[in-house]
A = this chain, B = another copy of it.
Amino acid sequence: MIPVHPSTAASARPRRGARSAAAPLRAGEHVVVVGYGPVAARFVEDAADLVAEGALRITVVGAEAEPAYNRVLVGEHAVGRTARDAMALSDPSALAAAGVEVLLGTTVVRLDRARRVLSLRDGAGAERELAWDRLVLATGARPNLPVLRGLNPDPAAYSHLPAGVTALRDLADAAAVRAVVARRGRVVVLGGGVLGLEAALAAAEAGCPVHVVHHGPWPMTRSLDAAGGALLERALAGAGVEVVSSAQAREVLLDDAGAFTGLALEDGRTLPGELLLLSVGVRARTELAEGAGLRTARGVLVDHELQADVEQRVFALGDCAEVLCRDPSCTVCPGRAGAGPSGLIGPGWRQAEWLAARFRAELRAVAGGGTAVVEPLVQGPEPAVRLKARAVELACAGTVSGEPWQAGPDGGSVVQWADGGAGSYLKLVLRADRTLAGYVALGLPRAAAEVGLLHERGTPVPADPGMLLRLDGVDAPAPAAPGPEATVCSCAGVSAARIVRAVDDGADSLDAVRRTTRAATGCGGCTDRVRRLVEEHAARVPA
């Protein structure tokens, strides 16, 4: 819950940055949302009641022909694990009923800030203008495409890839992948990041022979230390994914019909396959903002109030935005460098909820003659990277370099456990006060959960860190039921107590709880746990 105080001008809270230059949001203004992905969908959903009561107009412009769906689950969907229905993120009839206008299959080709209009092009190529008062950019990110012979890396047209080559970004990609997976075809993944590995593991689990090719010395090079990477590589091999590290791809080999047949490497090897998944990172879609003279770096630059311009007319959120306050002394964003697209759904949702709450507060404050005071959107610690796969359990975050026999950051220290036979690994990088600067946990799911909490909360690690290994010990007691306030769904920020209340209030299925609480609608990592909570509690509720 975001604390929002419709308040008077006499508020004691000092505000950073002057709002005076900007016109506050007024009743009846037209807010146009560019992009219709999960983050846009959340903003629109949260603000729909303002439309219904006539306080705002909202139009959403989406390039795809379909309403918003959960892009994070495209990979799951491609291997047949997640149904299309479960990916839906918006309820078109509810939005229509509220009065939100949704333009599908429509591309924004130009942003004019002076005249406050967008130029739109529909699927038939027809152009028209759309006027706005406030603009919310939620254009997300697009996959990077490698420069390889055989590919035509037009960054604006990745969908024109050869047959059998895909970046697995939308539903059309997923359909192509599903065909290959169904016949257990050979899969080559280019890219050793967490998304490439998740796709590789899903394909291997579906029975496909899988190779992952990447140029780093070990998989997840940027998130893992060398030891963790080496153990991860062994775990992946055990799960049927062969990793080819320190490899440079040279050429995509195609047959006479132009379909993928293999990936040639610089060292002369060729990895044959029917499917090439490209997973070499994403970058923010910033062209509209750039064309309109807004500042961009790894994304559209916004301050921690998500403002891209000093007039407070253009906002950006989700993967297309980079939060980096103009004021280097900003205390809300202490020490945080701007970050590129995280690929995580949770932080974008937090931003969407915050912006809707801010708009609401401004409208109410203006109506009451005061000034809106909204608690700033505090950037949490950099979120953990979790590899979501059945065969391999991995979580890591923060600084993971350093060795136990060296001093850690700030006079801290490093703790390390590795069991090559069991394939388990735990590395804790401690500051002098024993809080975690970073960690890696592989094959130790309960320790990973506990360490993740210690990291998020800034809680010191116990003096005897060997205790953490007991959580996954052969004689460990069944895990205690999570406390009612424990977060179950970190994407949507939903606690166990909230889910149980929803069941009490009549949500008697996973889908019903999803609709009511938004739990298990994000990355899918908590779906099993939410289903279990619903089933256990529903059984106890008197019919």
Contacts and interface: CB of A to CB of B under 8 A. Distances in A.
A380 B233 CA distance: 39
Interface stretch (A143-151, A264-272, A279-287, A399-407): A399-407
A415 B404 contact: no
Interface in A361-408: 403-408
Contact of A419 (B413, B419, B475): B413
A295 interface: no
Interface stretch (A19-27, A76-84, A304-312, A463-471): A463-471
B425 A420 contact: no
A231 interface: yes
A463 to B, nearest CB: 6
Contact of A466 (B234, B412, B473): B473
A102 to B, nearest CB: 51
Interface of A: 227, 230-231, 233-234, 403-408, 412-422, 425, 430, 434, 463-467, 469-470, 472-475
Contact of A231 (B227, B233, B405, B469): B405
Nearest to A218: B405
A407 B230 CA distance: 12
B416 A421 contact: no
Contact of A430 (B234, B421, B466): B421
Which residue among A227, A234, A408, A415 has the maximum number of chain B CB atoms within 10 Å of its CB? Answer: A415
A53 to B, nearest CB: 58
Nearest to A415: B419
Contacts of A408: 420-421
Contacts of A227: 403-405
A234 B407 CA distance: 10
A403 B463 CA distance: 26
A25 B257 CA distance: 94
Contacts of A234: 405
> Which 6 pairs of residues, A with B, have the shortest CB-CB distance?
A413-B421, A230-B405, A404-B418, A404-B420, A466-B469, A413-B420
Contacts of A407: 420
A474 to B, nearest CB: 4
A466 B404 contact: no
A95 B377 CA distance: 89
A230 B473 CA distance: 29
A467 B466 CA distance: 9
Contact of A404 (B419, B463, B473): B419
Given A469-B466, A470-B470, A415 B405 contact: no
Contacts of A466: 417, 419, 466, 469-470, 472-473
A91 to B, nearest CB: 48
Nearest to A464: B474
A229 to B, nearest CB: 8
Contacts of A416: 416-419
Most central of A405, A416, A472 by chain B CB within 10 Å: A405
Contacts of A412: 421
Nearest to A416: B418
Nearest to A406: B420
B430 A404 contact: no
Interface hub of A231, A419, A434, A467 (most chain B Cβ within 10 A): A419
Contacts of A403: 227, 230, 418, 420
A231 B404 contact: yes
B421 A415 contact: yes
A406 B234 CA distance: 9
Nearest to A473: B464
A431 to B, nearest CB: 11
A418 B418 CA distance: 9
Contacts of A415: 418-421
A230 B414 CA distance: 13
